[in-house]
Structures are given as C-alpha cells and as structure tokens.
Structure 1
C-alpha cells in the first residue's frame, strides 16, 4: 500500500500530494475549484448528512462517530477499492474542510485504507 495522507483542502496543493480526493459531502466554503486542485470529489464516501450533523465535530463523540461512520463505509466497497488501487500506484491525499485535523472523516478513511489507527 502506498502512502495515504490527510490534509485540509484549504492548504496549498503540493506535488507530494499525488492523487487529491475531497471526501466531504459539502463543497468547502470560500474555496474555488481551481484552488482545491482536485482529481476527484467523492461525496458518497463522506458521512451521511444525519451522521455529520450528529457529530458536529465534537471530540467527545469521536469514538462513536468512528464506529458509526465505519458502519456506513461497509456500503462503499467500490469507492474504497478505488482509493486502495490509487494508493498502490502512488500517494493519495484525502482532503477535508474541517478545522479539526484529528477528528474528521478523512482520518477514519485513512485508518480504513491503511489499517493503522490514528
């Protein structure tokens, strides 16, 4: 498995990012498509609207959010397979808009793809 990393979409794109994938359901505020420099926007792999609203980026709900989101990801086999395939061929950067760089869906996805807890 190649390198999978996470990064805020608001940070500048870099060559080392490799394949850049936005994993938020909503487009991030105040950023143009050009500045985002995406290769792919995977809305469907993001947490459901209901789960996202419930979580509200509250670190106290992090463990339960991770469990619920992992359960939702069971339905996303083809999307996860695509990301794993890309990661075998080079770096993949999972982009997210949240301010909290530790408690967000990209961190959970990275764990799912690499098998390593963050």
Structure 2
C-alpha cells in the first residue's frame, strides 16, 4: 500500500494515484482544476477546536496526534477512514494538505493510520 503526503499546492504527479484533500477548508488561491482532487472527505479532518488548539501552540504534536486519533475513532468518521483505506489498498493514494509542514500535520497521522 502506497500512501503519500504532499502539499496541495504542488503540481500533480502520475504516481499520486487517487488524490485526497484532507483539509476542512479549500486551499486559498488554488483552482479546483489545478488541485486535481479526486476526493474531499471533510469529516476526516480534525475538529475546529482541535485545529485551533494545535495552531495556538498549546500542545505538542504527539498530543495533537493522540487527540486526533480519538476523533477518528468515532464510528461515522471511522467508516470514512475505512473507505479511504480501501481506496489505498487498490493503488497509490496521496493525501493533500495546505499545511506548511505536512510531516507535522493531521495528514501525517492519517497516512500512518492508513498504512497500519
């Protein structure tokens, strides 16, 4: 199973496979054509409260990841995660985010969970 994490502002590549936007808000200044997004499961994104808490610098990335995993365990959200996992089992999948540091974002948590 190949799961990649990339910034949505990077040009699409053939090896991206299914491109999944994992941000709640559409990225600023980016057209839908340029983004080439195949799926946008908004419910998989961190809650507004968790996102604001993390961006305010109130906690560590490890604590953010733990809280986000708890949000992903809610049955309705877990079902969406399973759907993305099924897509990833069929071929490459790229999780797209506008985060400036994708390796320290919710997209990295999702990638890890999808590969487990």
Task: State the TM-score bracket (shorter-chain normalisation).
Answer: over 0.9
The alignment of Structure 1 onto Structure 2 pairs a total of residues equal to 114
Structure richer in helix, relative to its length: 2
Q: CA RMSD in A?
A: 1.5
* 2:15 alignment partner in structure 1: 16
* 1:33 alignment partner in structure 2: 32
| Cα pair 1:9 1:36 within 8 Å, conserved | yes
Distance 1:30 1:59, change over 3 A: farther
Following superposition, the deviation at residue 101 of structure 1 comes to 2.3
The residue correspondences of 1:33-112 to structure 2 (distance < 5 A) are 33-56=32-55, 58=57, 61-75=60-74, 76-112=77-113
Distance 1:32 1:12 in 2: 12
Q: Which runs of 5+ in 1 are unaligned?
A: none
Following superposition, the deviation at residue 45 of structure 1 comes to 0.2
Q: Which runs of 5+ in 2 are unaligned?
A: none
Following superposition, the deviation at residue 58 of structure 1 comes to 4.2
Distance 1:87 1:11 in 2: 20
Decide which moves more: 66-75 or 78-87.
78-87
Instruction: Give the TM-score normalised by the residue count of structure 2.
Output: 0.93
- Off by >6 Å, runs of 4+ in structure 1: none
